[in-house]
Structure 1
Amino acid sequence: MSYGYQPSPTVVPYNGFDARADAEALRKAMKGWGTDEKTIIEILANRTNLQRQEIASQFKTLYGKELIKDLKSELTGNFENLVVAMMIPLPQYYAKELHDAMSGIGTDECVLIEILCTMSNNEIRVIKQAYQSMYGRTLENDLKGDTSGSFKRLMVSLCCANRDESFDVNPAAAQEDARELLRAGELRFGTDESTFNQILVQRNIAQLQQIFTAYEGITGHGIEKAIENEFSGDIKKGLLAIIKCVKNRPGFFAEQLYKSMKGLGTDDRRLIRLVVTRSEIDMREIKQAFVQQYNESLESFISGDCSGDYKKCLLALIS
């Protein structure tokens, strides 16, 4: 799905990649007394997820052992969590994050929003397959069981992965949709959530941009103001996430990274998920957006917030 810019990853396929040599180097880095963390970072942070899977396969062939298990036994804390996240195939990683966000007491709606509100149809379908094979349940059923009200309807709609992904723009239809959104929200007592749901989940990105422009032309203010006034709680956060992604996708992820680190304590799980997944997609764009939005580089923010090998590995992934 195109968001109007060329994705620019910081982690790209490594030139002259040799899975066997990498597997041998990693074995050496973990063998005997002490661990050579520098080598682990040097190799794994400079290989794509697919290349890491090949290294793991070679490692098992050479030594009859699971690379991920050896890494876990050698590393600790957030550095261990980061490296383990890097080693999981991406669909399974997303599936696990969604599952963990819904299991136990309470739900981490931020994870559901961050993943389901930003993915293409194909990405959601692949994650759904991974989810079912890992947990023996459908993602849709778990979403239904764990969320409620209009937020549940939004999550289930997104989970269907039926967004129009063409690049067709129809200005007349955009005007009509803008008026529909106005009638469903600001011009009535109470809000017709289903209209917002239907339009924001189904229209293609270019068409949504046109709809938002038309809405602003009619009302004199952005669609965000209507969402802020008409909605509350998780449904508000979900709809705003879709709008932000349509208007400025790198800016949305820059904001998520900022939120993971600002204030008291760091949400390391969120920080790890964002860095690991976006480093192979659009991290360069996100870094530019981060500087524009917060007048500080993402690198310096991470440096001030994290330490040790954890910090070094995060910085290697985004450089």
Structure 2
Amino acid sequence: MDPEYFKSHEMCWGTLGTMRPFSNFHPDKDAMEIQAALEKKDAGTLVRILTNRNNAQRQVIAKTFEEITQKDLAAGVKKALAGDLETLLLELLLPPMEYEAHRLQQAMTGLGTDEETLMEILCTRSGKQLQEISTAYTFLFKKDLEKEMKGETSGDFAKLVVALLHKDAGSGVVQKDITSLSASIGGKKADAGPWIDILTSRDSDHLNKVLMGLELENGQMVDQVLEKRFSGDIRLGLKVLVQCIQSPDAYLAKRLTSKKASTVQGIMVSHCEEDLLCIRAAYLKLTGTSLYTALQSQFKGDLLQALLAICRSED
């Protein structure tokens, strides 16, 4: 880790992210160091620089690198590195909303759809952010995100992901919403419609009151109700949505325990400038082990150093 990183009095210590602006920032110097590191395939230097600058600074570095060398930085990283470390550094070079668009696209390509990654992004991003991600998706892939989602999903789950893409933080009447949700699970076959309508069109404070009221009325946790009354993709989707309404940090912490490299990297890169400190705290509460320590038992080498730099410190 670059010791200069900690010398700034201008770093945004009030934020809940772990990756903050580097105070002694000289993009020309960084670009030249990166050029030399790419030629020598010096992964350590690339990790040290790219994990100690925030995203806005990395965009400046990439632009400066291209002006100095007449070459694309991402292409240089692809040529010099391989595997998960290459993937991670390329992810760090993408603007945040473009990165989320890439994650959505990857979740929908290949054999089968990665429903949980779709839900993770849709449930932990605001309506405004999702609009920006949708715009970035069209720019990058020349396709409409909503149409792509409809093509890769079906039934109630397709209705849920589309509703989340256009979610709103509107108001409602708590008891009326509790009654609607209770009625939807009272018949022979549970009706996902009210769950989709209500859980994607209210603010989180309102929804937490509704979910607590529903638990009191039914005498069991909402998660248990969903497990019993729904099946397949819509059950997964509604369970993730409920967990994210109740505590997005706890949900993301739980997801980090999967130990799947792409999942761990995806969450850490996505949240490192926003709320990774909260996710770290939730991870410690959930597992009894800090995320910083857990990473060391799962990864090694330069990839480990990069992830530790993003995580930033022990809890």
Common fold: TM-score over 0.5? yes
Q: Which residue of the partner structure matches residue 47 of structure 1?
A: 53
Q: Which residue of the partner structure matches residue 181 of structure 1?
A: 181
The 8 Å contact of residues 56 and 66 in structure 1, kept in 2 or not, is answered as yes
Q: Which residue of the partner structure matches residue 268 of structure 2?
A: 275
Q: Which runs of 5+ in 1 are unaligned?
A: 1-5, 262-266
Q: Which runs of 5+ in 2 are unaligned?
A: 1-13
Q: Which residue of the partner structure matches residue 29 of structure 2?
A: 21
Report the alpha carbon displacement of residue 154 of structure 1 after superposing the two structures with TM: 0.2
Report the alpha carbon displacement of residue 233 of structure 1 after superposing the two structures with TM: 1.9
Structure 2 residue corresponding to 1:163, chosen from 159, 164, 168: 168
Structure 2: distance between partners of 1:125 and 1:103? 21
Count residues with an aligned counterpart: 299
Report the alpha carbon displacement of residue 217 of structure 1 after superposing the two structures with TM: 2.4
What code does the residue aligned with 1:16 have?
N
What code does the residue aligned with 1:258 have?
T
Structure 2: distance between partners of 1:139 and 1:35? 37
Structure 2: distance between partners of 1:15 and 1:51? 10
| Residue 76 of structure 2 corresponds to residue 70 of structure 1 | yes
Report the alpha carbon displacement of residue 158 of structure 1 after superposing the two structures with TM: 1.0
CA deviation digits over 1:84-143, x for unaligned, max 9? 111111222211221122123321112211111221011110111111122222111111
Q: Which has the higher contact order (CA 8 A, sep 6+)?
A: 1
Report the alpha carbon displacement of residue 147 of structure 1 after superposing the two structures with TM: 0.5
User: In the TM superposition, what are the counterparts of 1:293-308 in structure 2 within 5 Å?
Assistant: 293-308=286-301
Structure 2: distance between partners of 1:24 and 1:86? 18
TM-score, normalised by the number of residues in structure 1: 0.90
Q: 1:250 to 1:7 in 2, by over 3 A?
A: farther
| Residue 212 of structure 2 corresponds to residue 241 of structure 1 | no
Structure 2 residue corresponding to 1:312, chosen from 278, 302, 305: 305
* 3-state SS in 2 of match to 1:202: coil
Structure 1: distance between partners of 2:296 and 2:164? 36
CA deviation digits over 1:29-87, x for unaligned, max 9? 223xx333222112111111111111000000111111111112111211111111111
Structure 2: distance between partners of 1:59 and 1:299? 31
User: In the TM superposition, what are the counterparts of 1:186-265 in structure 2 within 5 Å?
Assistant: 187-259=186-258, 261=259
Structure 2: distance between partners of 1:233 and 1:49? 38
Report the alpha carbon displacement of residue 298 of structure 1 after superposing the two structures with TM: 1.0
Structure 1: distance between partners of 2:107 and 2:130? 16
Structure 1: distance between partners of 2:215 and 2:110? 42
| Residue 283 of structure 2 corresponds to residue 290 of structure 1 | yes
* 3-state SS in 2 of match to 1:16: coil
Percent of matched pairs sharing the same residue: 30
Structure 2: distance between partners of 1:35 and 1:69? 13
* 3-state SS in 2 of match to 1:117: helix
Report the alpha carbon displacement of residue 7 of structure 1 after superposing the two structures with TM: 5.7
**How large is the Cα RMSD of the aligned pairs?**
1.5
* 3-state SS in 1 of match to 2:22: coil
The 8 Å contact of residues 7 and 285 in structure 1, kept in 2 or not, is answered as no
What code does the residue aligned with 1:255 have?
K
